[in-house]
Amino acid sequence: MSKLVVVESPSKEHSIKKYLGSGYEVKASKGHIADLPKKELGVDVDADFEPEYIITNQKSLTALKKAFKGKTTLILAVDPDREGEAIGWHVAQRLGVISASGKTKKGKKLERFVFTEITESAVQRAAQNPRKIDMNLVNAQQTRRILDRLVGYKLSPLLWKKVRFGLSAGRVQSVAVKLVVDKERERDKFKSQEFWNIDSYLDKKQSTKKTEVIFSEIDKDEKSEILEAKIENAAKKEKTDGIKFKLVKISGKKAKINNKSEAQAVLHNVKGKEWIINDVETSTSVRRPSPPFKTSTLQQFAVNKLGFSAKRTMQVAQKLYEAGLITYMRTDSISMSGQAINDARKFLQNKYGPEYLPEKPNFFATRSKVAQEAHEAIRPTKFANTADKIKAGNDERKLYDLIYKKALSSQASNASVELTNVSINISKYLFEAKGQRILFPGFLKILSDLAKEEILPKLMKGDQLFPKTIVASQNFTQPPARYTEATLIKALEKYGIGRPSTYSTIISTIQSRQYVIKEQKYFIPTDTGFIVTKLLEDHFPEIVDLGFTAEMEEDLDAIANGKKEWVKTIKEFYGPFAKTLKIKETKISREDYNILGEAPKKVKCPECESKMMIKLGRYGRFYSCSKWPKCKGMLSIGENSKDDLEKQAKSTKFLGIYESAPKTEDGRDYLLKFGKFGKFWAHPDYPKVKDARPLEYKTDIKRKIYGNTPKAEDGKKMVLRKGRFGEFWAHPDYPKIKEFKSINKKLLKLKKKELGVE
């Protein structure tokens, strides 16, 4: 075998060797073999930003050198993107095939195979049409890596000095954090407004029963989880038969009911009136299929439909790609190849019939400017491979089914939908009922979850209907929704921040650095996220400026397309950045970026009785004396004083909820303490004696909160545990025996509040 083929993943070795046949040896690099060093800058800013790469995977490199010994031809079959091109470039350099500039050395031969699906036809086609290494793609990847390293390694030490040790800044991640912070600021400024909806449930037959009127009120000052529970209960109570008519207009204008008295006035004015249909309008609407997935839309759909994180989605998609089941999953294209379109059309005709096939193939326009546009959309490699036929794990099958149906439906015919609008005028009030019926499903035959119908009974103008129930429901305008993974990816794509291949990394990074936390499915900025964002806004506005960051991404695209020089691009950024950094090192005060506000008036300094400030420290919020550094008094948040805690531990309410304090061997009571994770019992000589124990609820209180202790399959009683998503019941030998039962978080909070339990 005279030729060595290098791929990235070992899972590709067998299939690619099989497709290429004899004469080729296939080995995996197992990702990058070289990168910038972890513990130093690794970029010579005085020598045109020359990167100083080190070997990061010596084992793989040694294996590749051994495999290449005695061979003259190196073939790179790494992934078809900037990252893959850079991996191949490093491999070719370290095997002595090319120079740093990409020029092939004498006596050596280098070929680049490019394919976006691991199938026999695609691999053989790539072998027949090899190309050279694309140094533009290599330079674009290298530029991104150097820019991110310059920002991270130059700005992070400033954050250590001015906020706290261990923080880090990222060129793109900082903008993502700012998006989350800005959304939270919007929510903080938001003022909720009351409004009422009025819905009437009508029947074609008159009932002997009196019309029921329901007023559904909620307390907007209560916590959201209790509010949601009340709304759910109200919805169950109001569930009723009949045709739902909604009040939509008053005196020709959009209905706006601001309070209960206005709602009562509406009900008073329609009471006893005849409900006669004054108009029935029907129209036909056409629904068109949407394009196949690109990377960002796949990540968004997987979050919403499957509950997968962006990172998990890309890991599962990688497995599907390497198994030869889908095309390459890092792409901005929404187009399929001509061959794939023909295959999809044949499959549609054979399975669903000619009526599900449009006269001409469906084509979708794209606005993408990036290098990955040369790729196809994400699609199955064979439309004959339905999800039930593939050999894969549960996650892989679920994601494959999503990709398969989206790609196949994109080539199906339009759906035809009949829309019905029925209106009733009572004095100045206009009530409407809307219906929807699918006349022909078209592509909805494949995407059945989108084929929702709301079918109304046959109604005609002049028909009289009779009110069974009228519901006046109180509502409050809601603040802008926080970002989920899906909506954050959508925002990053909208503003041109990052690229499809980086979205999952961005989201993972801002969580791992604890700039944001995910509560249920929503991102909430931490105190650290707020403070770091404020510091960057005040002193390095370009780092968190959406337009500036998007422009930088366009520069990287221009480098990838050979339209811009990479060293010049870095110089344009680094010159002003380094100058600002030098000035700000002396001008920024640490005190400006660790004070979050004043402590409650009752909280006094334990040393000098002065008022205290809320500060951000390494382990979160704490109280610090306002006279710091003269006075170094401090308290944990919630820790008013030792006396207050002792009083609380002896209070009737406390003793009625929790078991008594444990005792030491010599009979002394443990003391109530307040730490990072709340209250706990501590040894009286704590922290010298590091013995801390959790508070235990009394048996009757525990039963009221959690119900009866469930049993595992082997009959053993389960135990309560706490995890990253809250409390849950687990097998006593968990995690060795992975048997557990989840606990409804919303319901748990509600029960604890009702019992006065913290």
Q: Averaged over 278-299, what is the pLDDT?
A: 95
Q: Which amino acid is at 714?
A: D
Task: Please report whether residue 675 resides in a domain.
Answer: no
Could you tell me if 339 and 449 lie in one domain? no
Digit-coded pLDDT (tens) for 407-442:
999 999 999 999 999 999 998 999 999 999 999 999
On whether both 610 and 579 belong to a single domain, the answer is no
Last residue of a domain, one of 574, 609, 640: 640
Residues 124 and 50 in one domain: yes
Is pLDDT above 50 for 159?
yes
CA distance 429 to 576: 63
Closest CA relative to residue 60, chosen from 30, 86, 82: 30
What is the arithmetic mean of pLDDT over 716-736? 83
Is the residue at 199 inside a domain?
Answer: yes
Same domain, 470 and 536: no
Of residues 21 and 485, which shows the higher confidence score? 485
* Segments forming the whole domain that contains residue 9: 3-133
Residue 91 lies in a domain: yes
Whether 142 is covered by a domain: the verdict is no
318 and 455 both lie in a single domain: no
Asked if residue 23 is part of any domain, the answer here is: yes
State whether 466 and 401 are in the same domain. Answer: no
Note the pLDDT tens digit of each residue in 48-75: 999 999 999 999 999 999 999 989 999 9
In sequence order, the β-bridge partners of residue 18 are: none
Reported confidence tier of residue 646, pLDDT bands at 50, 70, 90: low
The better pLDDT of the pair 370, 698 is held by 698
User: pLDDT band for position 231 (50/70/90)?
Assistant: very low
- pLDDT for position 616: 82
For residue 683 the two structure tokens come to: 């040894």
pTM of the model: 0.78
- Whether residues 426 and 370 share a domain: the answer is no
Q: How confident is the model at residue 371, as a pLDDT?
A: 43
Q: What is the CATH number of the domain that holds 250?
A: 2.70.20.10
Whether 1 shows a pLDDT value over 90: the answer reads no
Length of the chain: 758
pLDDT digits (tens, 9 = 90+) for 241-266: 789 999 999 999 999 999 999 999 99
CB contact at 8 A, 19 and 124? yes
Q: Which two tokens stand for residue 662?
A: 């444990």
Mean pLDDT (whole number) for 187-214: 90
Q: pLDDT for 442-493, tens place per residue?
A: 999 999 888 889 999 999 999 999 999 999 999 999 999 999 999 999 999 9
Residue 638: predicted pLDDT: 57
37 lies in a domain? yes
Query: At which of 411, 440, 465 does a domain end?
Result: 411
Q: Which of 368, 384, 411 is the last residue of a domain?
A: 411
Residue the block writes with tokens 């078991």: 659
Domain count, the chain: 6
pLDDT of residue 519: 87
Task: For residues 622-639, give the mean pLDDT.
Answer: 81
Q: Which pLDDT band, with edges at 50, 70 and 90, does 237 fall under? A: very low
CATH of the domain at 32: 3.40.50.140
Residues 128 and 52 in one domain: yes
| Coil, strand or helix at 509 | helix
Task: Please check whether residue 594 is in contact with residue 628, taking contact to mean a CB–CB distance below 8 angstroms.
Answer: no
Q: Are residues 406 and 393 part of one domain?
A: yes
Query: Predicted confidence band at 370 (pLDDT cuts at 50, 70, 90)?
Result: very low
> Is the residue at 39 inside a domain?
yes
Cβ burial, residue 758 (10 Å; 0-12/13-18/19+): exposed
CB atoms within 10 A of CB 565: 13
Q: Are 440 and 372 in a shared domain? A: no
Whether pLDDT at 229 is above 60: no
Q: Which residues of 707-732 are buried (b: 16+ CB within 10 A; e: fewer)?
A: eeeeebeeeeebeeeeeeeeebbbbe
Instruction: State the Cα–Cα distance between residues 140 and 431, nearest whole angstrom.
Output: 59
Q: What was the pLDDT predicted at 690?
A: 80
Q: What is the mean pLDDT of residues 23-45?
A: 94
Answer yes or no: is 552 within a domain: yes
**Cα gap 390→196, rounded to integer Å:** 51
Answer whether 420's CB lies under 8 Å from 281's CB. Answer: yes
If asked whether residues 272 and 421 sit together in one domain, one would say yes
> How does residue 392 score in pLDDT terms, banded at 50, 70 and 90?
confident
Average pLDDT, the chain: 88
**E-strand spans in 204-335?**
212-216, 243-250, 253-254, 275-287
Q: What are phi and psi of 439, to 5 degrees?
A: -85, -45
Shared domain for 577 and 600, answered yes or no, is no
User: Beta strand pairing status for 740-742 and 726-730?
Assistant: antiparallel
Which amino acids are annotated catalytic? 328
Q: How much of the chain exceeds pLDDT 90, in percent?
A: 60
